[in-house]
Chain A
Amino acid sequence: MQLVKKFGTVTAVDRLDLTVSEGEIYGLLGPNGAGKTTIIRILSSLLVPTSGEAYVLERRVPDKSIASNIGYMPQETALDTGLKVTELLEFYGEIFGLPRSAIIEKENELLRFVDLEAWKNTLIAHLSGGMKHRVSLACALIHDPCLLFLDEPTVGVDPELRLAFWDHFHALKDTGTTILITTHYMDEARRCDKIGFIRRGRIIAEGSPTELLEKTETTSLEDAFVEFSRQEVTP
């Protein structure tokens, strides 16, 4: 509530109020530098807000005790490139305290899902950018988290696989997983239950994709964003 994060004189998040309901896919949409990543980093307990409060799974963050229920996928791939795909997945499985058999089972399931079965014994350094993104997503899902923070998860992923990703996000949602996602792809954003348009660290509009389009009488979320931005500048 009224969350603020400043880096020196720059205000990255400005009096932000945001609520994500359990079991929904919430999309944060906005231009580069709008504060999307900072919000996700605060909610993942990686940054301390300058002022205001943020609660995740009913715990005020930063709080390490909820980390085992959260899956975090950063914008950069952030993978240990010196490991093979399976070695990295096993490492994350071990961190989350999964038994060996569960790790193997989950690893096989995720490798099928991200279509990397043929590459499982390849060094991550030798994978393409898109493949690294897929491994990154698999790492975030290894422990079956009930809450997912996905920062630009489909950047560099080919259109076919992007569709598969979104199908999987919805499958996760159906099992009760809550997802907070940032994306640049407006067509993808339509598949969110709720969208928050973010500009200069503030939510300028919020609602389901249909509601946002209706309010602005536009046909695309891109146009809707521009319209809300215009309204904010000239109220």
Chain B
Amino acid sequence: MKIYRCLAVTKRVFRDLKNDRRTPALMFLAPLFAMFVFGVAFSGDVKDVPVIVVNADEGSTAQGVWISLSEEIISQLDRQMLDITTLKSADEARNDVEHGRALAAIVFPEHFTQEVITASFPGEIQVIIDRSNPNVANPVLKSITAAMTGTMQEIGQEAPITIHEDSIFGKNASFMDYFFPGILSFVAYLLTILLTLITFVGERVSGTLDRLLATPLRESEIVTGYALAFGLLGTLQSAFLLTVGVLVFKVTVVGNVAVAFVVIALLAVVSQSLGILLSGLAKREVQAIQFFPFVVLPAFLLSGIFWPIEAIPSWLRPASYMIPPTYAVDACRDVMLRGWGLEKIWIDIVALVGFASLFLMIAVLSLRRRD
């Protein structure tokens, strides 16, 4: 081995980098971006979860002093975690939880304080909760228990209070049930975007794109052709994954899977347009690979696949809603865990159609450049 030959190779690598300024820039920017997204996304607790309180307890007088245990417990609830609104009717509160307007409802029955103080009956708080997202539901339940325990310690009473949990969705859901819709969306997003990105950089670099554009084929036809192909592939891919999920991991599907497939197909169309757009920024396949952290990390950390959006710092939360997979993950969970149909997930569908239309349009324009 000759050291001067080794050094010549080393020098060549650095010369390559010198001549391609984007690569070294991305080499430093990408990890910085990764560190930033990880650091910020994982630093928060669950916050601003909409919870309804229905308080039918009228309080009670003990030793000449009026006391309301329910008010005490409510005052001890974590206001940072829970965004509390009050309602009069338990039915109305249940309806809100069923329609996804609130994650939980805490219902204090009539004579709650009196029953606890006189110990005539064990006091029971009813918690109507949406358990489709255990990452949010569990901290919320913990917070309610902590407020209850704190209150009882304060008044020095070991009273028989129980929490009656009334799960609306995901009663027997495992973590895999919750996780699976996220995996479906993430896989469709990731693979489609990467495949399109690499394919289109190849089409540009090899000259095949120019060759196509010299034929009657229009830019919009190229993009639509790709969209149809990747929409179909996304659907097939999710059908395959779903079959494995159900057969091997015993994933429970409550709703109509066809609706979930529509969502995944839409996400695939969004992703392929994004891939075409990004391909315009890369001159070589190597440069395209350097975009991966920018594509993967936000979706991985901010779209609610693993980490609940409720736990992302509020100032960063708008970023979650600018990422298409967020809507797909939400819609797939609604369908597969809550059993909702198109009539309830239409906001997610509209968002995905909006993203798809916007990105498809920009992708067509990006191909139309004739500099």
Known contacts A46-B370, A48-B370; A79/B208 CB under 8 A: yes
Q: Let me know if B250 is at the binding interface, CB within 8 A.
A: no
Docked CA distance A44–B216 (Å): 11
Docked CA distance A61–B148 (Å): 77
Q: Let me know if B1 is at the binding interface, CB within 8 A.
A: no
Name the A residues within 8 Å of B211 (CB-CB).
Answer: 72, 74, 78, 139
B205 nearest CB neighbor, chain A only: A76
Q: Let me know if B215 is at the binding interface, CB within 8 A.
A: yes
Q: Let me know if A102 is at the binding interface, CB within 8 A.
A: no
Q: Let me know if B207 is at the binding interface, CB within 8 A.
A: yes
Q: Let me know if A165 is at the binding interface, CB within 8 A.
A: no
The winner among A44, A68, A139 for most chain B CB atoms within 10 A is A44
Count B interface residues, CB 8 Å: 14
Q: How far is the CB of A39 from chain B (nearest CB, A)?
A: 14
Docked CA distance A68–B208 (Å): 17
CB <8 Å contact, A70 and B370: no
CB <8 Å contact, B207 and A64: no
Docked CA distance A216–B217 (Å): 45
Q: Let me know if B210 is at the binding interface, CB within 8 A.
A: yes
Name the B residues within 8 Å of A45 (CB-CB).
Answer: 213-214, 370
Q: Let me know if B218 is at the binding interface, CB within 8 A.
A: yes
Name the A residues within 8 Å of B207 (CB-CB).
Answer: 74, 76-78
Q: Let me know if B206 is at the binding interface, CB within 8 A.
A: yes
Q: How far is the CB of A155 from chain B (nearest CB, A)?
A: 14
CB <8 Å contact, A67 and B214: yes
Q: Let me know if A62 is at the binding interface, CB within 8 A.
A: yes
Q: How far is the CB of B211 from chain A (nearest CB, A)?
A: 5
Instruction: Encode contact with B along A124-139: 1 for CB under 8 Å, 0 otherwise.
Output: 0000000000000001
Q: Let me know if A95 is at the binding interface, CB within 8 A.
A: yes
Name the A residues within 8 Å of B218 (CB-CB).
Answer: 64
Which chain A residues numbered 85 to 117 have a C-beta less than 8 Å away from chain B? 92, 95-97
Which chain A residues numbered 12 to 41 have a C-beta less than 8 Å away from chain B? 41
Docked CA distance A30–B313 (Å): 63
Give the interface SS of chain B, mostly helix, strand, loop or mixed: loop
Of the four ranges (under 10, 10 to 19, 20 to 34, 35 or more), the interface on chain A belongs to 20 to 34
Known contacts A46-B370, A48-B370; A70/B214 CB under 8 A: yes
CB <8 Å contact, B370 and A96: no
CB <8 Å contact, A74 and B216: no
Known contacts A62-B370, A74-B211; A68/B216 CB under 8 A: yes
Name the B residues within 8 Å of A167 (CB-CB).
Answer: none
Known contacts A46-B370, A47-B370, A48-B370; A92/B215 CB under 8 A: yes
Docked CA distance A79–B212 (Å): 10
Name the A residues within 8 Å of B214 (CB-CB).
Answer: 44-46, 67, 70, 72
Q: Let me know if A227 is at the binding interface, CB within 8 A.
A: no
Instruction: Encode contact with A along B196-232: 1 for CB under 8 Å, 0 otherwise.
Output: 0000000000111011111111100000000000000
Q: Let me know if A211 is at the binding interface, CB within 8 A.
A: no
Docked CA distance A76–B208 (Å): 9
Docked CA distance A70–B217 (Å): 13
With beta carbons under 8 angstroms apart, the residue of B208, B216, B217, B371 that contacts A78 is B208
Docked CA distance A135–B371 (Å): 28
CB <8 Å contact, A74 and B215: no
Name the A residues within 8 Å of B213 (CB-CB).
Answer: 45-46
The winner among A46, A47, A77, A96 for most chain B CB atoms within 10 A is A46
Extra inter-chain contacts (6) besides given A68-B216, A74-B210, A78-B207, CB under 8 Å: A41-B210, A64-B216, A77-B207, A79-B206, A97-B216, A139-B211
28 contacts between A and B (CB under 8 A): A41-B210, A45-B213, A45-B214, A45-B370, A46-B213, A47-B371, A48-B371, A64-B216, A64-B218, A67-B214, A67-B216, A72-B211, A72-B214, A72-B215, A74-B207, A74-B211, A76-B207, A78-B206, A78-B207, A78-B210, A78-B211, A79-B206, A79-B208, A80-B208, A92-B215, A95-B212, A95-B215, A95-B216
Closest 10 CB pairs of A and B: A78-B207, A72-B214, A48-B370, A78-B211, A67-B216, A44-B214, A76-B207, A68-B216, A78-B208, A95-B215
